[in-house]
Amino acid sequence: MIAGYNTISMGTGRSEFHPKKPRPGLEDYIKEAGENVLSQIGGAKNVDECVIANFIASRYNKQANLAAFFPYIDPNLTYKPCIRVEGACATGGLGLATGIKSILAETADVVLVVGVEVQNSVKAVYGADILAAAGWYKERKDGHAHFFPGKFSDRAGAYFEKYGRGKTRKAMARWYTNAIENARLCPTAQEFENSQKNLEQLALTEPNPNMFVDHLNVYDCSKVSDGASGIAIVSEEGLKRCGISKKDAIEVVGLGQAEYDLTKAPDDPVRLTTTDLAVKKALEMAGINHQKLATVECHDCFTIAAIMAVEAMGFAKPGEGSDFILEGHTSREGKIPFNTTGGLIGWGHPTGATGVHQAVTIWEQLTQRAGQSQIKIPTARPYALSVNMGGDDKTLVSIVYKKC
């Protein structure tokens, strides 16, 4: 992978954001991300295929047929094969997987992948209904008004009951604190300008079930976001065609995909079993274990999901994810820095773009392009992992990358 680019993750918290003022539209974000990747790889003439990852623009923006926006990015993409993919919040990861498979199938040497979502087009109450399509929509009538926060609130409640509430809530607050601190180092992050003090204390605000959900507060949740991310996936021949050195690329060495029945509740509400399986597949293909990783981009749609993801990846035993986080291991100075630009909670969660943003962040880290967000990549641990989750642990894409 080469030539990553992120637009600003737009939403509440950004000084540019105002609900009553005009903002960039879907096509603007697509064009910005696409043009900036093309400018790094010698132009559209070098591209063989394109993939656009978008969850549900047909409802948020009343726009479908998104693959046909590629010629809008650049006229030289006209008539090139393009495809749109969707898999709820794992849409971006599926876009990357689609591009990877085109390279492996030798139908392309250079694939342009763009992930995009514009969600601030409707009021939050309507947005909750749109996002419910990431789950089994037949449950919508019986589900919480805030559908997905309700799902993960239920998981949090089960986790509290099994492993204790006090320490878990502290770990959730620490996760939020780390996310905001990392986002403050990334100019495109939605929380870049967050100047709140006492972040951990703020995040420990007691949930109010009368206003929101039983076991989560608003700081436990990723925000509604607009934005796009783009990256190029290339073969060795494609790398030469684009005139880019290997030292400026990252190698994809493992891919794990897994799917769970959308109509079924999780077998165990305190475990992310599909995440576990996808990560194992990716690590097995890469021929490494989690101890070889220098950094991880995980799908922290909610702070409780982050704790369970730490356990699903094998960094902590079931019930001990909170300890791992509270001991500082996931912070940017820790044993295994997670979400170095803020993750979904800090950087933002423009749904279709999230998985691509994860790859861009890893590309930046492994090629020393991360600016103030840069962490040290140990020579003995040149690998990174991304985990992109769709729905309530239903659609999973996990990728292992290696510093070239």
- Structure confidence by residue, pLDDT tens digits, 313-331: 999 999 999 999 999 999 9
Q: Are residues 79 and 173 in the same domain?
A: no
pLDDT tens-digit readout, 111-142? 999 999 999 999 888 999 999 999 999 999 88
Please name the helix (run of DSSP H) or strand (run of DSSP E) that holds residue 110, with its range, or none.
Answer: strand 110-118
Task: Return the C-alpha torsion angle 242, 244, 246, 247, nearest 10.
Answer: -150
Q: What angle do CA 309, 229, 77 make, to 5 degrees?
A: 140
CATH code assigned at 38: 3.40.47.10
Q: Are residues 191 and 282 in the same domain?
A: yes
289 shares its domain with 341:
yes
Q: Are residues 378 and 234 both part of a single domain?
A: no
Is 36 exposed, middle or buried, given 0-12, 13-18 or 19+ CB atoms closer than 10 A? Answer: middle
**Whether the Cβ atoms of residue 164 and residue 181 lie closer than 8 Å to each other:** no
Question: Given a cut of 90, is residue 68 above it in pLDDT?
Answer: yes
Q: Is residue 129 part of a domain?
A: no
Tokens standing for residue 99: 């591009």
Q: How far is CA 328 from the centre of its chain?
A: 22
Residue at 127 is within a domain: no
Which alpha helices (DSSP H) does 228-353 contain, by range?
A: 236-241, 273-286, 303-312, 321-326, 343-346
Read off the pLDDT of residues 186-216 as tens digits, 9 standing for 90 and up: 999 999 999 999 999 999 999 999 999 999 9
Asked if residue 378 and residue 232 are part of one domain, the reply reads no
Confidence at residue 145, expressed as pLDDT on a 0 to 100 scale: 85
Q: Output the six-digit token pair for 29.
A: 């974000």
Of 383, 386, 359, residue with least CA distance to 4: 359
| 219-263 pLDDT tens trace | 999 999 999 999 999 999 999 999 999 999 999 999 999 999 999
Q: What is the mean pLDDT of the chain?
A: 97
pLDDT at 97 exceeding the cut of 90: yes
Q: How far apart, in whole angstroms, are the C-alpha atoms of residue 404 and residue 401? A: 9
65 and 110 both lie in a single domain: yes
Domain that holds residue 277: 146-218+250-403
Residues 94 and 186 in one domain: no
Mean pLDDT of 52-63: 98
Q: Do 183 and 232 fall within a single domain?
A: no
Is there a single domain that holds both residue 69 and residue 212?
no
